[in-house]
């Protein structure tokens, strides 16, 4: 299975394992709640999906890399106690609480999440002395006499033996007590994630052109490239470009540790830099740039650069619009709350109510941050909301709280609508430019498919440009049918 399928399956597992009967007992008894065991090559996103699952299911997450643990830290330290049996006193060994189990209890206390995932990475690389205890933990959810709290699910992960010399094979007895999932790299699934995350267009367009370079990992060979490497490279490229630091060629081989892949991407990135300087994406998307006769004769890799430069600009506009819409919706929710049951409130009472609700929201943000439940950019969006509320609160002293908040709420909604209109126009102008410049060929397919694959753009496309959306849907479905046909024909 691919990583998305694994994620979906684990989310279902969370719901099934934490489901309770009317009497409050688990529908699936704890002894029957098999741990999930993910086995797959490094860098395909096993750890990342754990964070996503915890955030999307609003549950806790405690993650450990097991190669860092000894038997003592996992099981606990021995303590000598005296106990009496049959009238005689004996010295008996017991253990302090396992560091891993203690971390789960600490997480419950800090966040209030009684349900969660205990993620044990590199489970099949633990030391020889720790392995028996780990097998016991997978089977019985206990380290010594200390039990994993109910409502917490064990998910373990490891690499196949071909990729790691330290790997220990699990025996049949252990495998019969876990839910085994074999996960393989999948560029199509990763691409969807990468678009949503706003990865660098040079990375996305290069891998669109050379998908076989997405994951390079030959057992026994030194050179390798992973999805994690592409994401990290994207982050450093975006940051260095924004700070105008200049990107040297040595950077690429530091992330892409396969000589051929690094060389190919270096060449492609220079093409991207060239067209980023020569092209004016903003003017194209505004519909104010004349046609350029030399573009259709360019090699395909350069034409692809141009398509993705336009897509990057549209994605950025989409994320800006999504952030503005969320701000407007959050402010409206906050404003509606102030109007409920507050008729006749004095200025002092209204101020106290605003402070109370603002503090409640701050505390909620702090808890979600502590528990790793914040999505990308959520904290910045909340801080922006706090600033807007603070501005409204100052104005409320002059115009009244309800009026100040309602007026600002209307302004923010209006701004969101304006940004939605600009986004729709940019998509329409971009498609028109591609169609006029390159014709109804592969470049247009890639552009429209790219719009369809970004959630915000897809929604606006569907609502504001239904004809263009239908065209994109048709091209995407045709591409899927062609891919299925190729697979059948071998």
152-162 pLDDT per residue, tens: 999 988 888 77
With beta carbons less than 8 A apart as the criterion, state whether 367 and 108 touch: no
**What is the per-residue pLDDT for 234?**
94
* pLDDT above 90 coverage of the chain, percent: 16
How would DSSP label each residue in 393-443?
A: HHHHHHH-HHHHHHHHHHHHHHHHHHHHHHHHHHHHHHHHHHHHHH-SSHH
**What is the per-residue pLDDT for 137?**
82
For 218-240, what is the mean pLDDT?
Answer: 85
Given the candidates 3.10.310.10, 3.40.50.720, 3.40.50.300, 3.30.300.130, the CATH classification of the domain at 3-184 is 3.40.50.300
For 132-161, what is the mean pLDDT?
Answer: 83
Phi, psi dihedrals of residue 374, rounded to the nearest 5°: -90, 130
Kindly state the helix (H) or strand (E) to which residue 63 belongs, with its residue range: strand 60-65
**What is the per-residue pLDDT for 481?**
55
Please report which residue ranges of 295-346 form alpha helices under DSSP H. 300-339
The two structure tokens encoding residue 315: 């994605």
Going by the DSSP 8-state scheme, the letter that residue 248 receives in this structure is: -
The position carrying tokens 């790997």 is 167
- What's the distance, Cα to Cα, between the start and end of the chain in Å? 20
Rounded Cα distance between 349 and 249, Å, is: 62
Q: How confident is the model at residue 33 (pLDDT cuts 50, 70, 90)?
A: confident
What count of other Cβ atoms lies within 10 Å of the Cβ of residue 62? 21
The position carrying tokens 């092209």 is 279
With beta carbons less than 8 A apart as the criterion, state whether 39 and 97 touch: no
Q: How confident is the model at residue 207 (pLDDT cuts 50, 70, 90)?
A: very high
CA nearest neighbour of 190 among 40, 35, 372, 293: 40
| Model confidence pLDDT, tens digit, residues 317-358 | 998 998 889 888 888 887 776 666 555 666 677 777 777 777
44 SS3 class = coil
Rounded Cα distance between 445 and 93, Å, is: 69
Residue 66 has pLDDT above 60, yes or no: yes
Residue 193 has pLDDT above 90, yes or no: no
Q: How confident is the model at residue 283 (pLDDT cuts 50, 70, 90)?
A: confident
Rounded Cα distance between 62 and 57, Å, is: 14
Q: How confident is the model at residue 220 (pLDDT cuts 50, 70, 90)?
A: low
**What is the per-residue pLDDT for 263?**
93
Q: Mean pLDDT for the chain?
A: 82
Residue 249 has pLDDT above 60, yes or no: yes
The two structure tokens encoding residue 347: 């200025």
| Most confidently modeled range among 159-173, 380-394, 451-465 | 451-465
């Amino acid at each position: 299975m691919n990583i998305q399928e694994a994620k979906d399956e684990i989310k279902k597992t969370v719901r099934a394992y934490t489901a309770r009967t009317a009497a409050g007992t688990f529908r699936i008894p704890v002894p029957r709640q098999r741990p999930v065991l993910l086995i797959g090559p490094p860098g395909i996103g096993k750890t990342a999906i754990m964070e996503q699952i915890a955030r999307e299911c609003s549950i806790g997450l405690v993650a450990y890399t097991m190669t860092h643990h000894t038997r003592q830290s996992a099981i606990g330290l021995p303590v000598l106690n005296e106990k009496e049996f049959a009238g005689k006193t004996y010295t008996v060994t017991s253990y302090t609480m396992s560091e891993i189990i203690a971390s789960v209890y600490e997480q419950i206390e800090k966040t209030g999440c009684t349900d969660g995932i205990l993620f044990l990475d590199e489970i099949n690389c633990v030391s020889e002395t720790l392995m028996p205890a780990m097998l016991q933990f997978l089977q019985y959810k206990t380290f010594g006499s200390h039990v994993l709290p109910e409502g917490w699910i064990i998910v373990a992960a490891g690499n196949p033996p071909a990729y790691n010399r330290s790997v220990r094979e699990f025996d049949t007895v252990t495998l019969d007590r876990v839910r085994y999932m074999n996960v393989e790299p999948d560029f199509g699934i990763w691409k969807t994630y990468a678009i949503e995350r706003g990865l660098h267009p040079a990375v996305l367009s290069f891998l669109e052109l050379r998908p076989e370079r997405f994951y390079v990992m030959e057992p026994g060979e030194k050179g390798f490239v992973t999805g994690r490497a592409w994401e990290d490279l994207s982050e450093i490229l975006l940051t260095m470009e924004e700070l105008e630091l200049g990107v040297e060629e040595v950077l690429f081989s530091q992330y892409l540790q396969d000589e051929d892949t690094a060389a190919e991407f270096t060449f492609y990135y220079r093409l991207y830099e060239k067209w980023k300087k020569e092209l004016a994406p903003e003017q194209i998307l505004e519909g104010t740039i004349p046609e350029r006769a030399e573009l259709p004769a360019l090699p395909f890799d350069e034409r692809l650069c141009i398509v993705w430069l336009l897509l990057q600009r549209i994605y950025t506009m989409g994320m800006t619009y999504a952030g503005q819409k969320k701000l407007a919706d959050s402010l409206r929710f906050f404003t509606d709350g102030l109007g409920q049951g507050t008729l006749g409130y004095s200025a002092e009472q209204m101020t106290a109510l605003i402070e109370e609700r603002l503090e409640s929201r701050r505390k909620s943000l702090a808890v979600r941050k502590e528990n790793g439940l914040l999505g990308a950019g959520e904290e910045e969006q909340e801080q922006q909301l706090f600033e807007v509320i603070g501005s409204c609160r100052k104005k409320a002293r002059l115009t009244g709280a309800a009026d100040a908040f309602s007026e600002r709420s209307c302004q923010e909604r209006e701004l969101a609508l304006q940004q939605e209109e600009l986004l729709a126009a940019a998509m329409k102008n971009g498609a028109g430019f591609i169609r006029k410049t390159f014709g109804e060929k592969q470049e247009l397919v890639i552009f429209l498919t790219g719009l369809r694959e970004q959630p915000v753009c897809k929604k606006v496309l569907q609502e504001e440009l239904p004809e263009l959306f239908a065209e994109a849907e048709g091209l995407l479905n045709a591409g899927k049918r062609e891919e299925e046909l190729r697979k059948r024909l071998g």
